[in-house]
Amino acid sequence: VNQQHTSGHTSTKTRLLIMGPPGAGKGTQAALLAGRLRIPAVSTGDMFRALQHADTPLAVQVRAVMAAGGYVDDATTNDIVTDRLGATDCADGFLLDGYPRTLSQVLYLDELLAQAARRLDAVICLRVDEEEVVQRLVARGQMSGRVDDTPQTIRARLAVYQEQTAPLLETYRARGLLLPVDAMGTVQDVAERIALELDGHAALDLSILPTP
C-alpha cells in the first residue's frame, strides 16, 4: 500500500486507533500514549459508561447492552463518535480506543475522515492470549465493580469480539496501517513496544516523548 506523505504532516496531526480484545489493556495504553503524543484519547467504552447512569431511554438501553456484553448499536455509537471527534481538541489528532468495532463503524469512520480530508495514520493492535485476558478481566471486575467484568459476560464479550471485530484487523492490515504489538507483560513493556512500532512505521513522523 502506498502511504502518501502530505507535506504538512507533523506530529500534531496524528490520528490513531488502538484495537484488541477486551482486557488487552487498550484503555491503559491509550491514556499513556495519548499523553505522550499530546492528543486526546477517545474511548467509546468510557463514554458509554459515563452516560449509562443518566435517566434517559438511551442510558437504559446502553446499560442493558453492556451488562450482556454486547455492542451498542452502530447508529448510536457513530453519533457519539461524530460529536466527540468534532470537538476542537480532536482537530489536531486523536487516539480512538474501542471504535470502530463493526464493519459498519469502519465504513462510517472512513466517511467521517474523508469528509474532513483526513486519514488514519496507524492502527495499533494489542495481542494477548485468551486465558490471560479472562484472568485480567475477572481481577478488574473484583476491583472496579464494572458490571461487564463477570466471568459470564467476559466470555460473551470475547465471542462478540472474535466474531465482529477481529476480522476488521484485516481491513487495516491490507491498507498498510496495522501495527501488531505483543501486549503480554508489564504496562511499561507494552508501552515501549508500542513506541517502537510507531517509530518504525514509515507513514508516521512522530516526536514521541520518552517513556517516563
Site for ligand ADP in 114-173 (CB under 6 A): 148, 157
Choosing from 146, 155, 173, 175, the catalytic residue is 146
Choose which of 32, 71, 80, 121 interacts with ligand ADP (CB under 6 A): 71
Q: Name the percent of the chain in helix, strand, coil, to the closest 5.
A: 55, 10, 35
Residue 83: CB atoms within 10 Å: 10
Based on the shown chain and the rule CB under 6 A, indicate whether residue 36 belongs to the binding site for ligand ADP: no
Based on the shown chain and the rule CB under 6 A, indicate whether residue 85 belongs to the binding site for ligand ADP: no
Based on the shown chain and the rule CB under 6 A, indicate whether residue 94 belongs to the binding site for ligand ADP: no
Q: Which is nearer to ligand ADP, 133 or 179 (CB)?
A: 133
CB 69 to ligand ADP: min, Å: 6
Contact in structure between 41 and 31 (CB atoms under 8 Å): yes
Choose which of 15, 19, 22, 178 interacts with ligand ADP (CB under 6 A): 22
Residue 142: CB atoms within 10 Å: 11
Which amino acid is it at 82?
T
Angle at 33 between CA 28 and CA 38, to 5 degrees: 130
Residue 1: CB atoms within 10 Å: 9
Choose which of 77, 124, 194, 204 interacts with ligand ADP (CB under 6 A): 77
Sheet of strand 178-182: strand arrangement: 41-43, 93-97, 14-19, 122-127, 178-182
Q: What residues are annotated to the active site?
A: 26, 101, 140, 146, 157
Judged by the rule CB under 6 A, the positions of this chain that interact with ligand ADP are: 22-23, 44-45, 48, 65-66, 69-72, 77, 98-99, 101, 105, 148, 157
